[in-house]
Amino acid sequence: MSLRTCSRSARLLISDNQKMRKKKYPSDISREQFEQIRPLLESMRKKTKPRTVDLYEVFCAVLYLLKSGCQWRMLPGEFPKWRTVHSYFAQWSKSDQDGVSLLERALKKIRLARPVPDRDATP
């Protein structure tokens, strides 16, 4: 097996491990919710080489950071590397001509798709 094949196999193993994150966080969204915003998030990327990280995991890491307010370097190890998450966050946070970022659009889309709890119900 060549060095190139070994590194590709290692990347596949790493990406498989990222897809199978064991711990769930309160900030996580479901895969079904993510599929609603995937095209929006993928539209920002230039198609130069195949992605080596799971975009769902990156987005959940961004949600974790937004909810917890932790420092980038304190991102739990179960998520992709903090530099990778920061890079995507920086791209998604750039404002368009309307002054709205792609991240804001994605968060609004998730929020609108989430069922609203019945506030009239009494306990």
**Domain layout of the chain by residue ranges:** 27-113
Q: Are 62 and 88 in contact (CB under 8 A)?
A: yes
pTM, to two decimals: 0.74
- At 61-118, the pLDDT tens digits run 999 999 999 999 999 999 999 999 999 999 999 998 899 999 999 999 988 766 555 5
* Alpha carbon distance 59, 8 (integer Å): 24
11-40: pLDDT as tens digits: 444 444 445 677 899 999 999 999 999 999
pLDDT band at 50 (very low <50, low <70, confident <90, very high): confident
Q: How many CA atoms lie less than 13 Å away from 102 in the CB half-sphere?
A: 18
Identify whether the C-beta of residue 64 lies closer than 8 Å to the C-beta of residue 79.
Answer: yes
